[in-house]
Amino acid sequence: MAINTVMVIGAGQMGAGIAQVFAQSGFDVKLNDLQEEALEKGRAGIEKRLTRAVEKGRMTEDEKTGRLSRLATTTTLADAHDCDFVVEAVVENMDVKKKVFSELDTHAPAHAILASNTSSLPITEIAASTKRADQVIGMHFMNPVPVMKLVEIIRGLQTSDETYQAIEDMTKQLSKTPVEVRDFPGFVSNRVLMPMINEAIYTVYEGVAEPEAVDEVMKLGMNHPMGPLTLADFIGLDTCLYIMEVLHEGFGDSKYRPCPLLRQYVQAGWLGKKSGRGFYQYES
């Protein structure tokens, strides 16, 4: 099945990046959000990144104009009526996602594949809110989307082989690398990453080392480009806590219990870079 026209739902940090990557790979893109302001902000961000690429000589002005001309914006889900593929990147909340998928199911053509960019919610449950569960799949892009090569492709229990193959092929068309995983809490990326971040927080909580020392050990000792606490601040400590809770609840195993210090920082509103303070302080 040929995928030509796509809709991206949610024009936030991830959705705008995903829309950009599709537009620059030759797809016609409709970017959807509830709010006009979010669409304007998303589009302005894309334009800014493309302008920077022109300035750096990585793209011509004509290419930039061509890419922007393939990008439309809409606040109406019914505009999915002529889309071959839809990817959802709205807030990480199961009720909101289920509502989007069941509505989308009534608007998107029968052949369309529906994907979610969720970082932790079960694809199988999202798929069950539609009448085409075999055509629903997880497509977990990494942040920042235009830069990061990986797309974790999550097969729900009901995802068909045909759907998986179409999405694997499409991911390669985006010049990204697909990796196939099954639908279990945290998939692979967050199941491996988050316990490491949580353990780094435990070492601070237990007074083993200061945050700077923990990050230095992991950077210089393990060759990580960024220490786990710097990374946690970048991701957002509320997001880290949320994903640890998904792992803890999903597996029922105490090895995934969130560190009390992480919980306390979130209670204090110390959410990392976005709030100006996490394990480190940031200029506002």
The reply, when asked if residue 11 is annotated as ligand binding, is yes
User: Cα(106)–Cα(72) distance, rounded to whole angstroms?
Assistant: 21
Name the active-site residue from 32, 116, 120, 190: 190
User: Taking CB positions, which residue lies at the least distance from ligand NAI?
Assistant: 12
Task: Kindly tell me the burial class for residue 85, based on how many C-beta atoms sit within 10 Å of its own C-beta (0-12, 13-18, 19 or more).
Answer: buried
The reply, when asked if residue 274 is annotated as ligand binding, is yes
Tell me the β-bridge partners of 155.
182
Q: What letter represents residue 21's amino acid?
A: V
Figure out which of the listed residues 28, 63, 79, 92 binds ligand NAI, where binding follows CB under 6 A: 92
User: Least separation, in Å, of the C-beta of 169 and ligand NAI?
Assistant: 22
% helix, strand, coil for the chain, step of 5 = 50, 15, 30
152 is catalytic: yes
The reply, when asked if residue 19 is annotated as ligand binding, is no
The reply, when asked if residue 196 is annotated as ligand binding, is no
Q: Are strands 85-88 and 5-9 parallel, antiparallel or unpaired?
A: parallel
Figure out which of the listed residues 100, 151, 200, 244 binds ligand NAI, where binding follows CB under 6 A: 100
Figure out which of the listed residues 55, 56, 91, 252 binds ligand NAI, where binding follows CB under 6 A: 91
111 is catalytic: no
140 is catalytic: yes
Task: Give the DSSP per-residue string, 112-149.
Answer: -EEEE--SSS-HHHHHTTSS-GGGEEEEEE-SSTTT--
Interface segment toward ligand NAI; rule CB under 6 A; list 79-87, 116-124, 202-210, 214-222? 116-124
| CA-based radius of gyration for the chain | 20
List the one residue out of 111, 110, 133 whose CA is nearest residue 122. Answer: 133
Q: Does residue 90 interact with ligand NAI by CB under 6 A?
A: yes
Interface segment toward ligand NAI; rule CB under 6 A; list 113-121, 155-163, 213-221, 272-280? 113-121
The reply, when asked if residue 134 is annotated as ligand binding, is no
Task: Kindly tell me the burial class for residue 19, based on how many C-beta atoms sit within 10 Å of its own C-beta (0-12, 13-18, 19 or more).
Answer: buried
List the one residue out of 105, 106, 107 whose CA is nearest residue 136. Answer: 105
Q: Any idea what DSSP says for residue 90? A: -
Site string for ligand NAI, 218-257 (x = CB under 6 A): -----------------x----------------------
Q: Which residues are catalytic?
A: 119, 140, 152, 190
List the binding residues for NAD(+).
10-15, 33, 92, 97, 119, 143, 274
Question: What residues line the site for ligand NAI (CB under 6 A)?
Answer: 9-15, 32-35, 38, 89-92, 96, 100, 117-119, 140, 143, 235
